[in-house]
Amino acid sequence: MVTRTRLDATDCRASAPRRLFMTGLLLFVIAGLGASTAAAQRPVRIYDPFYRDETARRTFFDRYAFTGEISYRPAGLLQSDGLRTPGADPLGLSFRFDYQFATRFDLSVLMDAAGNTSGRTLSINWIALKYYRTVEVTDYALRLAVDPSSDGRSGFPQMDFAFLYTTLMTPDLSTDFAVGLRRVRIGYHQLVPTDPLPPPDPDDPIVSAQPADLEVLRSRARGWEMHMMMSYNIHFDPAGSNLFVTFLGEGGKYDLVEWTSSTEITSEDADRSVLDYQGGILWVRSGLEIERPSYQFKPFLSIPLAQWAPEAGEWPRSRLHIGVQMMLR
């Protein structure tokens, strides 16, 4: 009788995050179907390492671990469809260094090597602090991440706070749940086609030169995002190797300001467009996680299930994302 009661309590605890996640996904779908100005995804085209395969358990055993990822990010995932951009290289490289400086605390540095026409630039995108706690068969974690780059203002341009939950549902099945809130304050730019001038008059003694067919479109976004993740892991060996299936929902609301390189930004009447931008997307991600004491090998495939775009305008559409991770620990 005692064993039956404990199993029921565990099932109740395990079902709580599932109900919360499914409710969140339903809200994302309803918001996406009902929003007339909803866009396809977040307007900030940068690599996002969080909420894809996060867990509330520490994944390395010594004081530190190093992770590298190589992936294919086709046009549309990080830039607009059909438009040439300075960062048009679809091959993505990212790195992560984790350090355990206390029993319950880890410090992580996350870097991305963005490629463009002049080569690759390695930059630190995030610095994260993670707190762990275990109660019976359930693990909890709190993670605070900040963007260390400077935008000329006080504070950090981006901050992300997440709650993570991991538990065993059966000896061969575990689940990871995450929910988080992010403040976004960042800018980016891309190359877009220009509007051509009308043909010159041959009788006109002064012929105006035709402008270039491309110009730089600069954008600045300020707002908030919400992220939710639910992952199911089917374990198939004593080391913890598993087949995982992850469902992810992302949504955000921003004040988006755009202007072109031909705009005189110092003028008070500068020709800028201001948009109340709202967007949402649902992902499914699956792959294998091969666990060994000294390393972790993880090939993965991410597919967008649903996303929403406005009736007018060319907003970026997320596409297939495939890659592999390798952790040395």
Q: Let me know if residue 201 belongs to a domain.
A: no
% of the chain beyond a pLDDT of 70: 62
Q: What's the total number of domains in the chain?
A: 1
Q: Looking at residue 145, what is its pLDDT?
A: 95
Q: What tens digit of pLDDT does each residue of 247-267 get?
A: 999 888 888 777 776 544 444
Q: Mean of the per-residue pLDDT values for the chain?
A: 75
Name all contacts of 116-119 with Cβ < 8 Å and 24+ positions apart. 116/86, 116/87, 116/88, 116/89, 117/86, 117/88
- In this structure, what are the phi and psi dihedrals at residue 279, rounded to the nearest 5 degrees? -150, 160
CA distance 78 to 87: 8
Average pLDDT over residues 271-297: 87
Of the two residues 262 and 320, the one the predictor is more confident about is 320
Q: What is the pTM of this model?
A: 0.74
Q: Let me know if residue 202 belongs to a domain.
A: no
Q: Looking at residue 235, what is its pLDDT?
A: 96
In this structure, of 52-66, 96-110, 117-131, 244-258, the range with the lowest mean pLDDT score is: 117-131
3-class DSSP state of 77: coil
The CATH number of residue 170's host domain is 2.40.160.40
Residue 269 has pLDDT above 90, yes or no: no
Domain that holds residue 185: 2-196+207-328
Q: Looking at residue 320, what is its pLDDT?
A: 84
Distance of CA 46 to the CA centre of its chain: 8
Q: Looking at residue 274, what is its pLDDT?
A: 74
Q: Let me know if residue 310 belongs to a domain.
A: yes
Q: Let me know if residue 309 belongs to a domain.
A: yes
Q: Let me know if residue 67 belongs to a domain.
A: yes
Q: Let me know if residue 69 belongs to a domain.
A: yes
Q: Let me know if residue 173 belongs to a domain.
A: yes
Q: Let me know if residue 172 belongs to a domain.
A: yes
